[in-house]
Structure 1
């Protein structure tokens, strides 16, 4: 009679896999602890051997293995703490401020960025700096050859020559006008010819000298003739009609002389005014030309040396310079390219400071009222473990209807260049609450299956695995809302060794 085979008992693959993983993990932990025990035993043997005779080798004992006391409680021998790096700390009550953590973005300091374009049309003769170059205020960025600049400098040179001529002419005219007026006043006092000659021989009078002296001489001659005939007529020597004729000539010469005095004096005063106006007009044309070129970036020292003969082709060169210290963050210009005022050739930004832009949601608006002018802390994924400071200079007044946020702006020092515009950062908005809470270092917290755990020391080699509920955080400290109380002693370093033991027990229990 055939014997039927006994039915085979199948073991689930997942069960086998779990068993193998658990066995391997436990074996690894035991191996590490065995090495620690052997190392400690060897050290003790060497120390003993230096002071006593060697003894017969005693049989080795396996290192003490942490044992589970009850569910949730682990045993870990104190002699293994140092090797595992276990350190204890006490739960304390400390004041913590409410902190809202929001996402922000690093942007350029909009007050220190310049989009540079030429102020005149021309052809690029030379590009002096590459993209990314750090520049100083006044450094030449681009040289442009511009006919407009050349014509402006030629106009300045021509108007300067005209101004020099107007100034010399005005000086002459003013001297003549002043001296003529002085001569007119002197002639009205009936001076002698010797006094006139000595007083006005070296003074500038122009054509007025001849006219005034001739008119005065004619008047003096007519006066002498009249006086002579008047004397002779009184003596009966000369007929009366000759005296009458002499008086008529004298009166005519006197009238002519006075008319000449008034006319010349008035004309010279008018000429002086015209000359002053012409000089001022010439000076104004020069000033306008200089101001126009200064608006294009030229300095007075550049304009003082304008000379078409000496400069030649260089007269039409126009240099675009950096307005302040910064970095070339954009460049759109090539050699021999024609550029116009509408062409943005470069962008210079001062990256020593940057803005932090944050869109704050409505539920955090209460925090903004206390932040104006205050400091905030910033962290960036690119620089783990480091905190940057920024000072708030603007909190918006209007809530965006689409995003329901309000804009906040802060300025951060960036002289080391680590905060890059466009980088996302986490911004901590401090609140106003300072209530004391149970606080532990962040290093005391361990994660397991989405839960926060700490190991509480129960005394001796016993530790309690305790789930905690966390609250606020500040720096490297975290608030514990539930699960711990003030005075509890917890593992602040080396908790991974205890967690490894806990996981090994969980795996072996499966």
Structure 2
């Protein structure tokens, strides 16, 4: 019994138990990791010798910034191969255009010959047009054929007047037939040969185009732009590329001015050989590591010469034990997490779940949950340990009370519940870790219960006294 007067004297105050949509809070250890979609080990695409080094550890670079240049015989061969194939394509195009024009003009010439146009008219019409050797052969055969026609007509009149012998007329007729067969055969052959030459020229052009595309793809495999813009191929050399001319040993003798304005050598404007290719930043980010490379060092495709990442966002990897999988089951992509780091005790960070894990580690009996967190100030460093709180929705409303109502005795947690105007009972509860001014109660209280939130310690002391007195 605790009268209302006594309650006022000790400052006893109560509050009603409420229920709300409070998420489950699952705590798990974790660490900061780079965002793998913005993380890269940069390796040479082709083996060679370092020509210049243009970026240093800790430097922020933009996508496309020059990191290093490499001299590679393989790239040089690929560039010269493309240069050769482009020249062959130009020749093939010119040949194809020529054969196409000859074919069209030959077809028109044959059509005029079939119509019986005079040689003078045909010569005038095709005086400035390309027909090739077919012009002379066709017109010669055509003239001989026309002459044979005229000869036959003249001798036919003479034969009718008995002015020539039948044998002479037969010889003239045979000459006409030979001229006609020769002319007709030549027209057929010329038309076919012109069409065949045009087809072969077009096929050769397509083959040359395929060879150019193949050579371009080979350069793309090496990370080199085949259009010649990076760097530009001029006279067998790469024009306009600043290259290293080290005067002494050491990586600070690189001649090209690095991105970011940190000079590592004196600038020397020279033309790099055709074998030089550039290694550039694939995205905006920071150089996290750089292999010990200086001009003159041989590298191959297995060397991770740069490691870079964009740290404007990072991943949080949390290890969730299998005993908490039931709480994790309600987490999904887009769920929220909160986390803290020992480095920033007074600051809480937020993130969004991107993967809730499907494989259980056999040793730790846990799964890896991944979340993405923005890192504009770059306070979160990859490798940093954090304590993660995963927020997952509850199936039903959660019971909450002010955290000041909780009392502890050994490993037991309890509250005082007001059951009457002057009556209070002690009730054990299963409470989650307090968050701010409120705490979620798993078991022990119901919505509408009235708990003591102020003066509970005096109430506790009084209950101990009453228990000792046997009341």
Please indicate the TM-score interval, normalised by the length of the shorter structure: 0.7 to 0.9
Q: Which of 191, 199, 216 pairs up with 2:117?
A: 191
Deviation at 1:236, TM superposition (A): 2.0
Q: Which of 395, 404, 407 pairs up with 2:368?
A: 407
Aligned counterparts of 1:293 and 1:266: Cα–Cα separation in 2: 41
Q: Which of 223, 236, 257 pairs up with 2:162?
A: 236
Aligned residues: 395
Q: Which of 297, 317, 321 pairs up with 2:280?
A: 321
Q: Which of 384, 388, 392 pairs up with 1:423?
A: 384
The residue correspondences of 1:242-257 to structure 2 (distance < 5 A) are 242-257=168-183
After superposition, the Cα gap between the structure-2 partners of 1:88 and 1:355, relative to the gap in structure 1 and judged at 3 Å, is: farther
Contiguous gaps of at least 5 residues in structure 1: 1-77, 79-86, 455-465, 492-510
Contiguous gaps of at least 5 residues in structure 2: 1-9, 240-270, 416-425, 457-471
After superposition, the Cα gap between the structure-2 partners of 1:372 and 1:422, relative to the gap in structure 1 and judged at 3 Å, is: same
Task: Give the alignment's TM-score, normalised by structure 2.
Answer: 0.75
The residue correspondences of 1:309-458 to structure 2 (distance < 5 A) are 311=239, 313-335=272-294, 336-373=296-333, 374-430=335-391, 432=394, 434-440=397-403
| Deviation sequence 1:66-110 (CA, Å, 0-9, x none) | xxxxxxxxxxxx9xxxxxxxx999756444554231111211222
Which has the higher Rg, Structure 1 or Structure 2? Answer: 1
After superposition, the Cα gap between the structure-2 partners of 1:88 and 1:164, relative to the gap in structure 1 and judged at 3 Å, is: farther
Aligned counterparts of 1:257 and 1:388: Cα–Cα separation in 2: 94
Deviation at 1:213, TM superposition (A): 0.5
2:245 matched residue in structure 1? none
Asked if 1:106 corresponds to 2:32, the answer is yes
Asked if 1:206 corresponds to 2:132, the answer is yes
1:15 matched residue in structure 2? none
**SS class of match (2:431):** strand
2:244 matched residue in structure 1? none
| Deviation sequence 1:39-76 (CA, Å, 0-9, x none) | xxxxxxxxxxxxxxxxxxxxxxxxxxxxxxxxxxxxxx
After superposition, the Cα gap between the structure-2 partners of 1:304 and 1:422, relative to the gap in structure 1 and judged at 3 Å, is: closer
Aligned counterparts of 2:366 and 2:280: Cα–Cα separation in 1: 40
Deviation at 1:294, TM superposition (A): 2.6
| Deviation sequence 1:471-496 (CA, Å, 0-9, x none) | 223532353979x96354359xxxxx
- RMSD of Structure 2 on Structure 1 (CA): 3.3
**SS class of match (1:356):** strand
Answer yes or no: is the 8 Å Cα contact 1:471–1:478 preserved in 2.
no
Deviation at 1:179, TM superposition (A): 0.9
**SS class of match (1:258):** helix
Answer yes or no: is the 8 Å Cα contact 1:333–1:346 preserved in 2.
no
Structure 1 residues 428-437 or 233-242, which shifts more? Answer: 428-437
**SS class of match (1:320):** strand
**SS class of match (2:187):** helix
Q: Which of 431, 438, 445 pairs up with 1:471?
A: 431
Asked if 1:263 corresponds to 2:223, the answer is no
Aligned counterparts of 1:268 and 1:366: Cα–Cα separation in 2: 81
Aligned counterparts of 1:338 and 1:167: Cα–Cα separation in 2: 41
Deviation at 1:423, TM superposition (A): 1.3
Task: Give the alignment's TM-score, normalised by structure 1.
Answer: 0.70
| Deviation sequence 1:402-437 (CA, Å, 0-9, x none) | 322222211111222122111111111335264323
1:308 matched residue in structure 2? 235
2:260 matched residue in structure 1? none
Asked if 1:216 corresponds to 2:177, the answer is no
After superposition, the Cα gap between the structure-2 partners of 1:472 and 1:340, relative to the gap in structure 1 and judged at 3 Å, is: same
After superposition, the Cα gap between the structure-2 partners of 1:474 and 1:415, relative to the gap in structure 1 and judged at 3 Å, is: farther
Answer yes or no: is the 8 Å Cα contact 1:97–1:430 preserved in 2.
yes
Aligned counterparts of 1:251 and 1:167: Cα–Cα separation in 2: 42
Aligned counterparts of 2:78 and 2:321: Cα–Cα separation in 1: 56
2:263 matched residue in structure 1? none
Asked if 1:162 corresponds to 2:88, the answer is yes
After superposition, the Cα gap between the structure-2 partners of 1:320 and 1:166, relative to the gap in structure 1 and judged at 3 Å, is: same
Answer yes or no: is the 8 Å Cα contact 1:177–1:269 preserved in 2.
yes
| Deviation sequence 1:331-358 (CA, Å, 0-9, x none) | 1141121001111111111212211112
Deviation at 1:207, TM superposition (A): 0.8
Higher helix share: 1
Deviation at 1:470, TM superposition (A): 8.0
Aligned counterparts of 1:447 and 1:281: Cα–Cα separation in 2: 86
2:220 matched residue in structure 1? 294
2:454 matched residue in structure 1? 489
Answer yes or no: is the 8 Å Cα contact 1:229–1:246 preserved in 2.
yes
Aligned counterparts of 2:25 and 2:103: Cα–Cα separation in 1: 85
